[in-house]
A and B are shown apart, each in its own frame.
Chain A
């Protein structure tokens, strides 16, 4: 096919497209992604209604946050993300400063200093902002550098990842620190970092486990891992959560006990049933079929995200979309993995389903970026032609 014919066909396609440009595309919204998210949040609210024992206040708060999150997503989708590339270094510096500030002036909850009360702003966790800003910064960094990255660039990018991760780990919030680190690492991996390096890094990580165990992990963190390895050792204490969540999941069977009939959560056997362990409630009430439906919805979102990353036409948006999508997957895997007993318990909510507003807003902000990448990418290409 000659290049002129190719261009002609492409422009023809786009002309057709422009004719059929739907209301969704005018609004910069990605219909498949939006559809999957709406169904998922709807399903999530149903499960939450049961998990909170029809608690009016919790439900109202969650619905308000979901609506707010959709608005945030809509607004972000209107902005061309490429504009943000320029602002990325500044955003990184501001976010990092906030992480420093929270260490000194943050308010303490559950033994960790994570929340920041700034006058004129709602209470928020700076680490939530970093979840978006770090992939953005790294994507911007590598989009200007050669692919695969050179060693020097890898080093500096690791510094960029390490600074916020260490600051968050100091709060202490090891789970979030690891997930933020992972979102940064994903950018490196997608940027083509050599497998040799990845392999030796993993090797070094495994070798450092004993040293980490002795010098770094706190008692309660060690306890969590020991409990994960043998929950029956202390069934009424540390092992209680995981035993009860496995019981909830297993007793759900293939079809579940039916909506609002989950006894494990209704009778308070399942702790954190509205938040981190909500998938156990879902599994108990809707059975394997219900969890499969949930996974299908998640996979729909992830595959759409990967598709957007794949068809995106510049390295910045590719890396950004890829990192956001894969990090989203890690959240799902870590949460369901810990609730079903294949990973130790780390405080990670189930994306878009667990009770808790901030994480939903952050996630939807991410989806807004994905939609922006897709929508503005197409228009950019169109304008380029």
Chain B
């Protein structure tokens, strides 16, 4: 009986257990099926996604920034170099307490809170753990030393080297070269993003900007396998970057510095051109700025200093337009001969003032303000070397504004004729059409008088004046101004045909006539007062010159003077006239053409003239004060000589 019950219980118990075991087994199978479906989902359906994710984890195509091309002057002097700079970078995963560490660093080196905020933004944007993020740039040697001493307290922080631009000559050449600075968001949008992966800076002005595509080179790539700590385990593929082209400029750094020094404390601009090629030998704007400031990242205070409203060191005066004043006279004089409006011998009697028919205004010559007299009998040559306004006013009535504009247009006024100086102003070349188009007003005869002496609407840049002087020296043969001499140390000089037609005169002897008149501006001494060149007392009279220099002064009014103005009074600086001087030399074999602009310099002949002469001397004379051999011989064999003089100094680099 008992046995029965126990037996029955056992069977019943076994049945219960087996059913429970069966349920357990079924649930286990269902859960395994669930796992398998999950695996099928991950490994079959999501395979592409995770396969890509896995490759993205480890395979990095990192771009290798190309080394930027260097810039040399015509004699192989390095103007723009690449120098190692040191940044402080952070690998966040290795840092114990980021804020405490940054606090410690702020006690060691100068690190403003704004920089820290920018760094934190960069830190948030980084994609991979264990990648290094720059905290601050351009550490000084002292800062590096201070960080090195405290390295043990700063795990995860590291000083890393990087190549950055360096301009050894600094401010005097800044406006010609331009500078590199950080790429802005806006620039990034218009750039080829691929080419600039890994590059942080871009040329902002000058050569650095214009030849950006040449200087930059081609980005390289490296496909690497990285582990989770960002260490490179293997290089899978590599395409080397192509370094940027080295550029050799026409610029002569010695002449550039001479022009910079010649300006002294004046503000102003100088452009010197090689008459043979149109190459820019010097392009100075003063005051200037240290371009290296922009490379390192300029501070707010330093930048506000550069925006001084009077000094405006960032403003390139060599490329800005000003009233050219009497420097226009040789060109307009040539126009009167070519159009047959005047002959070389035609004379006028100059009383010191001019009355335009139907105009109540009395136009005074500059002599009027000095002695209340005129130049007496004046022909064209004298009108140039004595800078007689009356002659030009009288002639301009016959020439007319449109013919004047047509003729001056051939010399490049009113447009930018340079090949690689894109930031140059176009100036203003007024005509009837121009005035109607621009101002919607008819032309008044009085305005022709102003234009005849480079005042009124007429505006030209020092670059344009130098260019026109070069064409004049070349007797009409055009060469467009260009900074670049050749790209690549071993390549040939760039040859470019001028896109602007040469100027041919009815009578080619008129070139020599104007050359002579301009030579007289500097050298004519016979006849004493009122019969010498305006610049003679300031240039040729002071010392014997071993070469002949042709020139023309200009003194451009900022404001009109009242008729009863007392000439002995001191004029406040901002109302003083601008002083200009154009010149070329040697007259017999023109080599260099020059335009000097002196802001509020007052005297074209007295202030700008001597500056021009100093620059000429620097270019033409050797240490003994004699004209250099190369400027005495015919220009045909010059290129070979220049090449051999450049080559050794380039090799030395």
* Residue B645 CB within 8 A of the other chain: no
Q: Which of B27-35, B393-401, B412-420, B470-478 lies at the interface?
A: B27-35
* Residue B233 CB within 8 A of the other chain: yes
Residues B43 and A263 in contact, CB atoms below 8 Å apart: no
* Residue B8 CB within 8 A of the other chain: no
* Residue A190 CB within 8 A of the other chain: yes
Q: Which of A85-93, A109-117, A314-322, A345-353 lies at the interface?
A: A314-322
Q: Which of A199-207, A264-272, A368-376 lies at the interface?
A: A264-272
Residues B43 and A247 in contact, CB atoms below 8 Å apart: no
For the complex formed, measure the closest distance between the CB of A353 and the CB atoms of chain B, giving whole angstroms: 15
Mark contacts of B198-210 with chain A using CB atoms, 8 A cut-off: 1 yes-contact digit, 0 otherwise.
Answer: 0000000000000
Residues B57 and A247 in contact, CB atoms below 8 Å apart: yes
One of B21, B39, B51 near A306 (C-beta < 8 A): B21
Chain A residues contacting B435 (CB-CB under 8 Å) are none
One of A147, A246, A333 near B31 (C-beta < 8 A): A333
Chain B residues contacting A267 (CB-CB under 8 Å) are 57-58, 225-228, 233
* Residue B628 CB within 8 A of the other chain: no
- B1-49, CB < 8 A from A: 9, 12-14, 16-18, 20-21, 24-25, 28, 31-32, 34-36, 38-40, 42-44, 46-47, 49
- B166-216, CB < 8 A from A: none
* Residue B129 CB within 8 A of the other chain: yes
* Residue A302 CB within 8 A of the other chain: yes
Residues A302 and B28 in contact, CB atoms below 8 Å apart: yes
Report the Cα distance A10→B39, complex, angstroms: 46
Chain B residues contacting A186 (CB-CB under 8 Å) are 24
- A250-305, CB < 8 A from B: 250-254, 263-264, 266-269, 283-284, 287-288, 291-292, 295, 299, 302-303
Residue of B nearest to A314 (CB): B10
- B592-617, CB < 8 A from A: none
One of A266, A284, A340 near B38 (C-beta < 8 A): A340
Report the Cα distance A128→B36, complex, angstroms: 29
Chain A residues contacting B39 (CB-CB under 8 Å) are 249, 283, 288, 291, 340
Interface centre among B9, B18, B25, B55 (most CB of A within 10 A): B25
* Residue A236 CB within 8 A of the other chain: yes
Residues B47 and A253 in contact, CB atoms below 8 Å apart: yes
Residue of B nearest to A296 (CB): B32
Residues A340 and B20 in contact, CB atoms below 8 Å apart: no
Chain B residues contacting A268 (CB-CB under 8 Å) are 227-229
* Residue B104 CB within 8 A of the other chain: no
Report the Cα distance A283→B54, complex, angstroms: 13
Report the Cα distance A148→B19, complex, angstroms: 12
Q: Is the interface of B mostly helix, strand, loop or mixed?
A: helix
Residues B17 and A147 in contact, CB atoms below 8 Å apart: yes
Report the Cα distance A227→B109, complex, angstroms: 40
Residues A306 and B24 in contact, CB atoms below 8 Å apart: yes
One of B16, B31, B54 near A148 (C-beta < 8 A): B16
Report the Cα distance A378→B13, complex, angstroms: 20
For the complex formed, measure the closest distance between the CB of A273 and the CB atoms of chain B, giving whole angstroms: 11
Chain A residues contacting B49 (CB-CB under 8 Å) are 250
Residue of A nearest to B43 (CB): A288
Residues A249 and B42 in contact, CB atoms below 8 Å apart: yes
Report the Cα distance A337→B227, complex, angstroms: 26
* Residue B50 CB within 8 A of the other chain: yes
Given contact pairs A190-B20, A192-B17, A326-B24, A249 touches B35 in the complex (Cβ within 8 A)? no
Residue of B nearest to A264 (CB): B54
Residues B42 and A189 in contact, CB atoms below 8 Å apart: no
- A154-190, CB < 8 A from B: 186, 189-190
For the complex formed, measure the closest distance between the CB of A303 and the CB atoms of chain B, giving whole angstroms: 8
Report the Cα distance A333→B233, complex, angstroms: 35
* Residue B53 CB within 8 A of the other chain: yes
Given contact pairs A148-B16, A191-B17, A288 touches B35 in the complex (Cβ within 8 A)? no
Chain A residues contacting B31 (CB-CB under 8 Å) are 329, 333
Report the Cα distance A288→B37, complex, angstroms: 11
Report the Cα distance A329→B40, complex, angstroms: 20
* Residue A336 CB within 8 A of the other chain: yes
Chain A residues contacting B34 (CB-CB under 8 Å) are 342
Given contact pairs A263-B58, A337-B35, A340-B38, A254 touches B44 in the complex (Cβ within 8 A)? yes
Residue of B nearest to A143 (CB): B13
- A210-264, CB < 8 A from B: 236, 240, 244, 246-254, 263-264
Residues A248 and B54 in contact, CB atoms below 8 Å apart: yes
Residues A192 and B42 in contact, CB atoms below 8 Å apart: no
* Residue A309 CB within 8 A of the other chain: yes
For the complex formed, measure the closest distance between the CB of B495 and the CB atoms of chain A, giving whole angstroms: 56
Residues B54 and A251 in contact, CB atoms below 8 Å apart: yes
Residues B43 and A315 in contact, CB atoms below 8 Å apart: no
Chain A residues contacting B228 (CB-CB under 8 Å) are 267-269
Chain B residues contacting A253 (CB-CB under 8 Å) are 43-44, 47, 51
Residue of A nearest to B24 (CB): A326
* Residue A310 CB within 8 A of the other chain: yes
Residues B51 and A192 in contact, CB atoms below 8 Å apart: no
Residues A288 and B16 in contact, CB atoms below 8 Å apart: no
Report the Cα distance A333→B55, complex, angstroms: 29
Report the Cα distance A288→B20, complex, angstroms: 32
Residue of A nearest to B37 (CB): A342
Given contact pairs A295-B36, A342-B38, A269 touches B43 in the complex (Cβ within 8 A)? no
Residue of A nearest to B35 (CB): A336
Chain B residues contacting A340 (CB-CB under 8 Å) are 35, 38-39, 42
Residues A269 and B57 in contact, CB atoms below 8 Å apart: yes
One of A189, A250, A287, A336 near B20 (C-beta < 8 A): A189
Residues B16 and A251 in contact, CB atoms below 8 Å apart: no
Report the Cα distance A284→B42, complex, angstroms: 11
Residues B57 and A250 in contact, CB atoms below 8 Å apart: no
One of A189, A250, A263 near B46 (C-beta < 8 A): A250
Given contact pairs A269-B58, A309-B21, A247 touches B50 in the complex (Cβ within 8 A)? yes
Residues A310 and B21 in contact, CB atoms below 8 Å apart: yes
For the complex formed, measure the closest distance between the CB of B162 and the CB atoms of chain A, giving whole angstroms: 26
Given contact pairs A249-B39, A267-B227, A315 touches B13 in the complex (Cβ within 8 A)? yes
Residue of A nearest to B234 (CB): A267
Chain B residues contacting A236 (CB-CB under 8 Å) are 129
Report the Cα distance A128→B129, complex, angstroms: 37
Residue of A nearest to B13 (CB): A147
Chain B residues contacting A292 (CB-CB under 8 Å) are 36
For the complex formed, measure the closest distance between the CB of B22 and the CB atoms of chain A, giving whole angstroms: 8
For the complex formed, measure the closest distance between the CB of A372 and the CB atoms of chain B, giving whole angstroms: 19
Residue of B nearest to A299 (CB): B32
Residue of A nearest to B59 (CB): A263
Report the Cα distance A269→B228, complex, angstroms: 5
Residue of A nearest to B49 (CB): A250
20 contacts between A and B (CB under 8 A): A147-B9, A147-B16, A190-B20, A246-B42, A250-B42, A250-B46, A250-B49, A250-B54, A263-B57, A263-B58, A267-B58, A267-B233, A268-B227, A292-B36, A299-B32, A315-B13, A322-B17, A329-B28, A333-B32, A342-B38
A287-B43, A309-B21 known; 7 new pairs, CB 8 Å cut-off, are A147-B9, A148-B16, A251-B54, A253-B43, A284-B54, A303-B25, A336-B35
Nearest 6 Cβ contacts at the A-B interface = A250-B50, A251-B54, A267-B227, A147-B13, A192-B16, A268-B228
Chain A residues with a Cβ under 8 A of chain B: 146-148, 186, 189-192, 236, 240, 244, 246-254, 263-264, 266-269, 283-284, 287-288, 291-292, 295, 299, 302-303, 306, 309-310, 315, 318-319, 322, 326, 329, 333, 336-337, 340-342
